[in-house]
Amino acid sequence: MREAKKRALLLVHRIPYPPDKGDKIRSWRLFQFLAERFDLSLGCFVDDRQDMQHCEFLRGACEAAHFVPLDPFWAKLKSAKGFLTGEALSLPFYQSTSMHNWVTEQLREKPFDLAFGFSSSMAPYLQDKAIAKIRMMDLVDADSDKWRQYAAEKSFPMRPIYQREAKLLAKTEAAISQWADQTFLITPEEAELVQNLPGATTDKINYWRNGVDTDYFSPHTEFEGEARSSDLIFTGAMDYWANEQAILWFVEKVWPLLREKRPDLKFSIVGARPGPVLQKLNDESSIRVTGRVADIRPWLAQAKIAIAPLRIARGVQNKVLEAMAMGRPVIASHDAASGLEREAKACFQIIENDNGKDVGAWVKAIDTMLKDEVGAEALGRKAREFVEEHYSWDAQLGRLSSVLRRFDL
C-alpha cells in the first residue's frame, strides 16, 4: 500500500507563476519541489492583475490554493501603519484577514507537517507553533542589508525611511531565525549577513542557491519572432529600482563614451514594466526599451554581449545565469557577480564598482569584447559549460532536499 504524502503549506508574497522575474523563478522552483513531495497547500498574493489568469493552473498543481489580490496603492497605505506599531513597513503591506482566515481553515483537518514561508513578509502567518511540526523560512536575500544600501543611495526624506526599514528588518530576520526550524538564504554570503545580526540563531541559518534551466535557456534553440539583434542587452524586471538605477547610470555615464567609439552601437533593455524615465530612453535607432516580451531567449540569442551594471545587488542574479546558459559573454559589476561562486567568475568579466572610476573600465571592456569576436564566443561557451555543470536546479534543490531529510520530511 502506497504511503500517504505528508502535508505542507507554502506561503509566498507574490504568485509563483509565471516564473518571469528573480523571486518568482525561485518560488516557482520551490513550489514544484514541494508539490512533488507533499500534499501542498499554496497561499499567495497577486500584485499584477495579468497574473490572475494563472490561478487555475496553480490550483490544479497542488491540493489547495488561495490567492489574495493585492492593490499596491492600498497596500502602501496599509504599510504606513508600521510607523505606529514600530514594525518594518513591509509587514503590514502583506497583512490580510483573508490569508489569515484561509490558513486557519486549512488547519482544521490537522497541523501541517511542514510550513514554508517565502520572504520575511510571510513570517507573521507562521509564527504560531500550532501551524506545523516543522516551520521553515526562505528569506531569499538579506533584505535588511539591501535597504541599508538603498539608504546610502538616497537623500532626505527617503534616506531615514530606508534606514528605519533596514534596522527593523534586521530585527525581524534575527527573530525569524530564532523560531524557525531552518532559515534559508540564497548564498552563503547572504546567510552570513543574517548570522551576524544581533540575536540571530546562527546554527539554524542555511542557504540554497538559485539555478537555471539549461534545457530551456539553450544557445542551440532556434527562435522565431520579434527579437532584434543588438550589441548589448540588459534583462530584468524594469520596475525594480536597482535595475532602473543600473540602466540610468549606464546610459548617463558609459553609453555616450561608447557611442563616440561606435556610433552604430545598439542596446536592448528587455524587461517588464519600465517606468516613464526608462521609456524616454527608447529612441529605436540605438536604444530599444521593449517592455514585457513573450520570450526573453531570442533577445539574448541575438545579442553580442549581456551586461549587468548593477550598483546594488543581492544574491545570485538570474539575469547573469540566464545569459551564461544562452552562451552569451557577460560583463557584470562586482555587485552583480558577488552571489556567484568563485569558479563561475572566470566565465565572465567583472568590473569593480569604484565611485565613477569604473566608467572607463566599462567602456574599455565592452569595446575590447566587441573587437574580439572569437574571444567573446569562447567566453560564452565557457559560461554555458559552467552553468550546465554547476547551476542546474536539481543540483541546487538537492541541498534543500538534504535538509528536509534531516527533519524526516
CA–CA dist 321, 216 (Å, integer): 12
Model confidence band, residue 118 (pLDDT cutoffs 50, 70, 90):
very high
* Residue 88: per-residue pLDDT: 93
Lowest-confidence pick of 60-64, 75-79, 95-99, 254-258: 75-79
CATH superfamily of 230-390: Glycogen Phosphorylase B; (3.40.50.2000)
Tell me what the pLDDT averaged over the chain comes to.
92
The CA–CA distances, whole Å, from 203 to 31, 32, 122, 132, 285 equal 25, 27, 22, 21, 54
C-alpha cell at 342: 568563485
Residues of the chain with CATH 3.40.50.2000: 6-211+392-406, 230-390
53: left (phi over 0), alpha (psi -120 to 50) or beta: alpha
Angle (CA) 347 349 355, round 5°: 145
Task: Count the neighbouring beta carbons within 10 Å of the beta carbon of residue 394.
Answer: 9
CA–CA dist 386, 166 (Å, integer): 35
Whole-prediction pTM:
0.89
Model confidence band, residue 110 (pLDDT cutoffs 50, 70, 90):
confident
* Residue 161: per-residue pLDDT: 94
**409 exposed, middle or buried (CB, 10 Å; 0-12, 13-18, 19+)?**
middle
Lowest-confidence pick of 132-146, 155-169, 345-359: 345-359
* Residue 354: per-residue pLDDT: 73
CA–CA dist 73, 68 (Å, integer): 15
* Residue 315: per-residue pLDDT: 67
Lowest-confidence pick of 140-154, 318-332, 335-349: 335-349
Cα 209 from chain centre: 11
Q: Do the Cβ atoms of 112 and 7 come closer than 8 Å?
A: yes
Over pLDDT 90: what percentage of the chain? 76
Q: Do the Cβ atoms of 275 and 197 come closer than 8 Å?
A: no
For 51-78, the pLDDT digits (tens) are: 999 999 999 999 999 999 999 889 999 9
For 19-32, the pLDDT digits (tens) are: 988 899 999 999 99
Evaluate if residue 338 carries a pLDDT over 90.
no
CA–CA dist 171, 173 (Å, integer): 6
For 212-229, the pLDDT digits (tens) are: 999 999 999 988 766 678
* Residue 222: per-residue pLDDT: 86
CA–CA dist 301, 308 (Å, integer): 16
* Residue 1: per-residue pLDDT: 44
Task: Count the neighbouring beta carbons within 10 Å of the beta carbon of residue 272.
Answer: 18
Top-level CATH class of 6-211+392-406? alpha beta
Lowest-confidence pick of 186-195, 225-234, 260-269, 351-360: 351-360
Which residue would you say has higher pLDDT here, 314 or 291? 291
